[in-house]
């Protein structure tokens, strides 16, 4: 049977999304003079904090003491750099030097700094225990990926702290290096981003908690549909609303549990 979609666009300038609806877009604020040292006191207080709550693999967190996580995103056009801060509450820290890196606390960040530009790869940057890992993969051929233990310092910097409070991970990504000199972050630009937190406890329980638009298996983070992150403040954006129906063309019946993707005409790699 053929599908047909009826969509109507309602433009609502300077409006904000319905608070009852799931948030579909996120915002990074412009910053200056951020040091990568695991201390977030130099981050401006108004940078949005987004909760990381989607526990997809393993044991569900027992409570907020067992796990609670947030992500903050910022950028600097002068430095051509993206900043990411992760705060994770964790009552049982498992992180040490060893070969069991898949069974330790850590984090993964998936980045698409140029949605719609297939010449710039997808990247994943990770901390597993005490190991730093960098993956990259071509958008057109995800089987052709590369992995390196240890982060090339020209691409990314990270500092992390662990203690009774849990974990703090602070990242800086150099857009020029990641984009091979062809990428510059600008106000109003959209990027794609995914976060995964690995919460390994001493009792053997393990949870992967993700922050992404659509989670898929396997665990390779570049396969997930990334959240749309806009470089700029929410109040500076102009909002629109799309409403519509999905029906079968053959009998005009409504399609239950259907999904419609809206893709940006300016940033073809991003969709909601």
Span 208-227, average pLDDT: 67
What are residue 81's phi and psi, to 5 degrees? -135, 145
115 within 8 A of 267, measured Cβ to Cβ: yes
Q: Is residue 179 over pLDDT 60?
A: yes
Span 17-21, average pLDDT: 36
Span 181-198, average pLDDT: 89
Q: Cα–Cα distance between 59 and 164 in angstroms, integer?
A: 21
Q: Is residue 216 over pLDDT 70?
A: no
Element (H, E) at 175: helix 175-178
**Cα atoms in the Cβ-side hemisphere of radius 13 Å centred on 151:** 24
pLDDT score recorded for residue 58: 66
Token pair 């130099």: residue: 42
Higher pLDDT, 151 or 174: 174
Nearest Cα neighbor of 232 from 45, 24, 47 is 47
Q: Is residue 89 over pLDDT 70?
A: yes
The pTM assigned to this predicted structure is 0.79
On average, the pLDDT of the chain sits at 77
Residues in CB range of 42: below 8 A, 6 or more apart: 33, 34, 35
Segments of 31-165 assigned E as strands = 50-51, 54-58, 68-76, 81-89, 106-112, 122-128, 131-138, 141-149, 156-163
Q: Is residue 126 over pLDDT 70?
A: yes
Q: Cα–Cα distance between 28 and 49 in angstroms, integer?
A: 10
Nearest Cα neighbor of 203 from 52, 59, 54, 56 is 59
Q: Cα–Cα distance between 122 and 135 in angstroms, integer?
A: 8
Q: Is residue 260 over pLDDT 80?
A: no
Q: Cα–Cα distance between 177 and 59 in angstroms, integer?
A: 38
Q: Is residue 71 over pLDDT 50?
A: yes
Element (H, E) at 243: strand 239-248
Higher pLDDT, 226 or 193: 193
Of the listed ranges 46-60, 194-208, 237-251, the one predicted with least confidence: 237-251
């Amino acid at each position: 049977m053929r599908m047909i979609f009826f969509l109507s666009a309602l433009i609502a300038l300077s409006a904000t999304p319905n608070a009852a609806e799931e948030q579909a877009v996120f915002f990074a604020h412009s910053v200056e003079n951020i040091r990568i040292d695991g201390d977030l006191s130099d981050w401006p207080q108004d940078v949005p904090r987004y909760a990381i709550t989607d526990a997809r693999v393993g044991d569900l967190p027992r409570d907020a003491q067992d796990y609670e996580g947030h992500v903050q995103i910022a950028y600097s056009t002068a430095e051509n750099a993206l900043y990411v801060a992760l705060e994770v509450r964790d009552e049982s820290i498992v992180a040490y030097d060893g070969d069991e890196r898949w069974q330790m606390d850590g984090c993964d960040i998936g980045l698409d700094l140029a949605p719609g530009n297939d010449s710039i790869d997808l990247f994943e940057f990770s901390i597993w225990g005490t190991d730093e890992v960098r993956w990259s993969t071509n958008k057109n051929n995800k089987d052709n990926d590369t992995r390196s233990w240890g982060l090339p310092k020209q691409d990314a910097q990270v500092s992390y702290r662990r203690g009774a409070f849990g974990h703090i991970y602070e990242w800086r990504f150099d857009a020029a290096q990641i984009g091979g000199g062809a990428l510059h972050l600008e106000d109003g630009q959209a990027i794609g981003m995914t976060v995964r937190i690995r919460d390994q406890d001493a009792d053997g329980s393990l949870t992967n908690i993700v922050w992404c638009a659509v989670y898929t298996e396997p665990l390779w983070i570049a396969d997930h549909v990334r959240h749309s992150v806009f470089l700029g403040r929410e109040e500076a954006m102009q909002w629109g609303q799309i409403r519509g129906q999905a029906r079968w063309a053959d009998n005009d019946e409504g399609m239950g549990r259907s999904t419609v993707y809206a893709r940006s005409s300016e940033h073809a790699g991003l969709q909601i």
